[in-house]
Amino acid sequence: MKKYLNELEMELNKYKKDLKEMNEYMYNNPELGNEEYKSAKLYCDYLNKNGFNVTENYLNIPTAFEGKYGGIKPGPKIALLAEYDALPEIGHGCGHNILGLTSLGASLLLKKYIDEFGGELYLIGTPAEETNGAKVTMSDLGIFDKFTVAMIVHPTEKGHHRSTTSQAMEALKFKFKGKTAHAAGDPYNGINALDGVLNLFNSINALRQQTLDSSRIHGIISKGGTTPNIIPDYAEAKFYVRANKLKDMLELVEKVKNCGRGAALSSGTELEIENYEFSFYDMVTNKTLSEVYEKNIKIQGIEEIYEDEGLGSTDMGNVSHRCPAIHPYFPISKENLTGHSIDFAKASISEEAYKGMAEAIYGLVLTGIEILTNEKLVEKIQNEFKNKK
């Protein structure tokens, strides 16, 4: 693969200025999930300009898109995924501006080898990873079932990190309904919905002793009443429930729901439980594919690839249950950074970020070339996926 590196460096030089300008534009114009209209247009216009067949409003998701290239000669189908949603107040504190453009850069370089070796290349724009991840809807519709592989590389602080796991996650909203009354004059005629929420928190705190060390339950009181002198007739809490494996998460979710049911019973309130965001599956990294990507990072002179614990959740987990997938990380700083922070957002437009971005682009393209040219490798990747599934 080393023989391709000089070729790729020269090719990337053609696009570096554009990618940098697009990155800084998105940094300065952050858009929340499912509101990424400017960002999606930026991608679609650029893909059209560079020979991709573009579908906007993909799957009737207004800010999703599909850019397809190739298909003249048969071969593997490679999907590169782009995220471009930002966070409230913080902007691109997760670096999705540079994340999506890394996939775009890799797509621009890889299309040459689609012409040479055959196959199909897809760049899929996936909105709202931070909330109602579009990859969940796409996975449920079977979009990823046809792909040989799906790849995405996420920015992080120092160093390259391998693709490992992520936690399965469910977002639960508990809606307690009671009865108003004057809190001083006749509180005995009221039913305090906030008591239901407080009982819920106490029950969940008692449940923690019986949860796995790797599991997480964290929530907020999203509504707790309007004024202290009125018994609140409505109160609401939102929770994320996470576990390393989908099966464990589903079992824990049922226990948390039972905490809510008990809280309603003891407070005399009525309870409704609903999902306020999509559920994310755990990330199942295809190790064969991951090892190829890591090799193609190391041949660039990068000696060490780090491994994380795999806490946190992503809708890329849902993709990994439908086709072989990886979700490694590239560095955007030499300093320690906290994710979902203003400092992280600022680092996403630094020179160190563009260096890490280029390394990730080369890693993705070289991995793509191997998939296009090595049938035995593809068979090994597919066999691992089938066995894990």
Q: Is 84 helix (H, G, I), strand (E, B) or coil?
A: coil
Whole-Å CA distances, 136 to 22, 122, 334? 26, 18, 33
Residue 191: give the domain boundaries: 168-275
CA distance 22 to 262: 52
CA distance 289 to 324: 8
- The verdict on 243 and 357 lying in the same domain is no
Q: Tell me, what's the pLDDT at 252? A: 98
- The verdict on 228 and 303 lying in the same domain is no
Return the CATH number at 86.
3.40.630.10
- The verdict on 82 and 204 lying in the same domain is no
- The verdict on 103 and 221 lying in the same domain is no
- The verdict on 183 and 307 lying in the same domain is no
- The verdict on 269 and 354 lying in the same domain is no
Structure tokens at 27: 């940094």
Q: Tell me, what's the pLDDT at 125? A: 98
**Which is nearest to 297 in space by CA: 378, 357, 354, 375?**
357
pLDDT along the chain (389 residues), means of 10: 89 97 98 98 98 98 97 92 97 98 98 96 97 95 98 96 95 98 96 98 96 96 97 98 95 98 98 95 97 98 89 93 98 92 97 98 98 98 94
Q: How many domains does the chain have?
A: 2
- The verdict on 187 and 287 lying in the same domain is no
- The verdict on 240 and 339 lying in the same domain is no
Give the CA angle between residues 165, 169, 173 to the nearest 5°: 170
- The verdict on 159 and 173 lying in the same domain is no
- The verdict on 174 and 153 lying in the same domain is no
State phi, psi for 173 to the nearest 5 degrees: -115, 130
The residue among 228, 251, 275 that closes a domain is 275
- The verdict on 268 and 296 lying in the same domain is no
Burial class (CB in 10 A: 0-12, 13-18, 19+), 329: buried
Q: Tell me, what's the pLDDT at 148? A: 98
The residue among 251, 275, 299 that closes a domain is 275
Would you say 186 and 361 are in contact if contact means Cβ atoms under 8 Å apart? no
Instruction: Please state whether beta strands 168-177 and 234-243 pair in parallel, antiparallel, or not at all (unpaired).
Output: antiparallel
**Which is nearest to 313 in space by CA: 131, 91, 157?**
131
CA distance 59 to 257: 33
User: Which residues on neighbouring strands pair with residue 150, listed in sequence order?
Assistant: 79, 325
The residue among 246, 275, 304 that closes a domain is 275
- The verdict on 123 and 84 lying in the same domain is yes
CA distance 155 to 98: 7
